[in-house]
Structure 1
Amino acid sequence: MSTNNKPKLKTSAMIASIAAEGQRTASAPFGEALLKLAAERPEIVGMTADLAKYTDLHIFAKAYPERFFQMGMAEQLLMGAAAGFAHQGAMPFVTTYAVFATRRAYDFMHQAIAEDNLNVKIACALPGLTTGYGPSHQAAEDLALMRAMPRMTVIDPCDALDIEQMVPAVAEHNGPVYMRLLRGKVPMVLDEYDYKFELGKAKLIRDGRDVLVISSGIMTMRALEVAKELEADNVDVAVLHVPTIKPLDTSTILREAGRLGRLVVVAENHTTIGGLGEAIGVELLRAGVTPQFRQIALPDAFLDAGALPTLHDRYGISTNVMANTIKNWVN
């Protein structure tokens, strides 16, 4: 019998919040922002495939039960029904997990929503490596798939503030939108930098002379943490946040990447194939802008299952591993 009376640390593979212990957070920013917007926009309806609670849509459902539609575990039906609502003048906000939308219902989004340029907003939780459930739930290739879809706007928000401001912005945009979604207790990061989300715009969050990290989603949070950590090593890191993956803010990216003397690193919570890194690499080559270029991203592989901190270390997207990687590149 063990005499160790220390409480056992418990970790869950199904971690949907990536907030560190003690980090400032906001609760359910997507659900709260949609609730506020729905009071002003009666055409908004909420729809999900059995995942209202796990995408924060339950907040909307409780306030507007007559405008909420639970479609069950039928993502293809969900997308088809959303298209029908949009044809009749409604603005569906559709939620599910990113893997189920992009892999299971891709053709329905492509044919029923995007081809007709319908006003459907698709918000998908567990993007990239934000769950430890393994390949069945890890949407490591969702941005590549959605970037390839004509007429689809693609967004990868960093934190709670990004999400809060993203929701009304996508409602103002006429056409289909795919947005990655962080749910539950979501970190609050960008409010320290006087940040404002603008659809289609990249934002320089902080400047630096040695390294430019171009990032989206949670990797912008990581990049800001890395920048603070590397100050002790006299490595000055700039961070350019790119929340809109498509359309890409090419002019801002080229301007910042074209400044001489800086290593350019693209950091993304996505496979190396077809995401932000490749999109930026192509634009740099087309424009003849040729900085020293590196990429931090998930491998082109089926990822392991496990606790998120372990997986983030293993695949190089944790703060410590990312900081060491960049420091080695600079040195």
Structure 2
Amino acid sequence: MNSAVSTPTRLKTSAMIASIAAEGQRTVAAPFGHALAALAESRPQIVGLSADLAKYTDLHIFARQHPLRFFQMGMAEQILMGAAAGLAHEGFIPFATTYAVFATRRAYDFMHQAIAEEGLPVKIVAALPGLTTGYGPSHQAAEDLALMRAMPGMTVIDPCDAHEITQAVPAIAAHDGPVYMRLLRGQVPCVLDEYGYTFELGKAKMLRDGRDVLIVSTGLMTMRALEVAEQLRGDSVDVAVLHVPTLKPLDEAAIVQACAREGRLVVVAENHTVIGGLGEAVAGVLMRHRVMPAGFHLAGLPDEFLAAGALPTLHDRYGISREVLARRIQGWLG
């Protein structure tokens, strides 16, 4: 009876801009848009550009407060990146927003040649990262981190929540070089402030310690990791969570120190394909430093084109929901 009641509830979520917040979870509206608009008050070099998606990347808030510093480029992502590069050459700090699939797949060469090779301070802020929409492969950027990590000179960030996005905006604006940052938009959960967390570019942070399992996570999967840790505590499983918001440059020292603890299972959790993301990056770090944890598992998206559908159902299907991730970890513990 219970399962029959719960299934329709999970299926009614909108496929396109579905919320990742749990029912009753504390959220903040449009943290990126508000943070950028506030920062621009004291940083006249900041400009905003979008490829016909300002409303869906929360950049419309910046546009409303700074209309003369906002540029609507239309549905032309290559032109978006080229224009951002030109503005950066003239001394501006452009924030270019679009969906992650369009930035990384459609405009990759423009980012590579016009922005990254020139070392320009363009900040590419990309919505719908990983599996945060149910519209299928055309809109699911499951491989964006792998593509951006491979680009020389590109700093890559995957923030967890509204608290981190608000702090990351001034940090990436101050960074002298190009940045790719995944974006959670709309009503974004807020959890990291409860852990006294402060974002630092290039730094991983241990949010909680535990003797049995270490979850190394990034982006929204840190939120899930913290939920899993609380759930497994009821089963007497002690879970640590290391949050890695910056995938490039990677905080190798923090990862080695956390993973070297004897007898602890290591699970890398990410909202990204298991190919070329945080999991393989962590595996490479451990191999280079000759660290051998008690066990090592990847909890990411499979190497396949993902299905379309309701977001909670897809998260269950691909193993990144709280309930399924907790079961997977229990299985790996034996």
Q: Same fold (TM over 0.5)?
A: yes
**2:208 matched residue in structure 1:** 206
Query: What aligned pairs does 1:227-238 form with structure 2 within 5 A after superposition?
Result: 227-238=229-240
Contact 2:157 2:247 in 1 (8 A): yes
Contact 2:104 2:147 in 1 (8 A): yes
Distance 1:8 1:195 in 2: 31
Task: Identify the match of residue 268 of structure 1 among 258, 264, 270.
Answer: 270
Distance 1:249 1:8 in 2: 37
**1:153 matched residue in structure 2:** 155
Deviating more after overlay: 27-36 vs 10-19:
10-19
Alignment-mate amino acid for residue 148 of structure 1 = A
Q: Secondary structure at the match of 1:54?
A: coil
Distance 2:161 2:45 in 1: 27
TM-score (norm 2): 0.96
Report how far residue 129 of structure 1 moved.
0.1
Alignment-mate amino acid for residue 265 of structure 2 = L
Task: Identify the match of residue 283 of structure 2 among 271, 281, 292.
Answer: 281
TM-score (norm 1): 0.97
Task: Identify the match of residue 179 of structure 2 among 158, 163, 177.
Answer: 177
1:311 and 2:314 correspond = yes
The 1:7/1:204 distance shift into structure 2, 3 A limit, reads closer
Q: How many residues align?
A: 326
Contact 1:17 1:182 in 2 (8 A): no
**1:140 matched residue in structure 2:** 142
Contact 2:10 2:312 in 1 (8 A): no
Report how far residue 172 of structure 1 moved.
1.0
**2:5 matched residue in structure 1:** none
Which runs of no fewer than 5 residues in structure 1 stay unpaired? 1-5
Runs of 4+ aligned residues of structure 1 deviating over 6 Å after TM superposition are 6-9
RMSD of aligned residue pairs (Cα, Å): 1.3
1:295 and 2:312 correspond = no
Report how far residue 15 of structure 1 moved.
2.6
Fraction of identical pairs, as percent: 74
Distance 2:306 2:116 in 1: 30
The 1:121/1:7 distance shift into structure 2, 3 A limit, reads closer
Report how far residue 12 of structure 1 moved.
1.1
Deviations along 1:253-274, whole A, 9 cap, x unmatched?
A: 0000001010000000000100
Report how far residue 241 of structure 1 moved.
0.1
Q: Secondary structure at the match of 2:56?
A: helix
Query: What aligned pairs does 1:36-47 form with structure 2 within 5 A after superposition?
Result: 36-47=38-49
Contact 2:10 2:313 in 1 (8 A): no
**2:21 matched residue in structure 1:** 19
Contact 2:247 2:278 in 1 (8 A): yes
Query: What aligned pairs does 1:190-269 form with structure 2 within 5 A after superposition?
Result: 190-269=192-271
Distance 1:154 1:14 in 2: 24
Distance 2:189 2:12 in 1: 21
**1:3 matched residue in structure 2:** none
Q: Secondary structure at the match of 2:305?
A: coil
**2:190 matched residue in structure 1:** 188
Contact 1:35 1:60 in 2 (8 A): yes
Which runs of no fewer than 5 residues in structure 2 stay unpaired? 1-7
Deviations along 1:142-163, whole A, 9 cap, x unmatched?
A: 0000000000000000000010
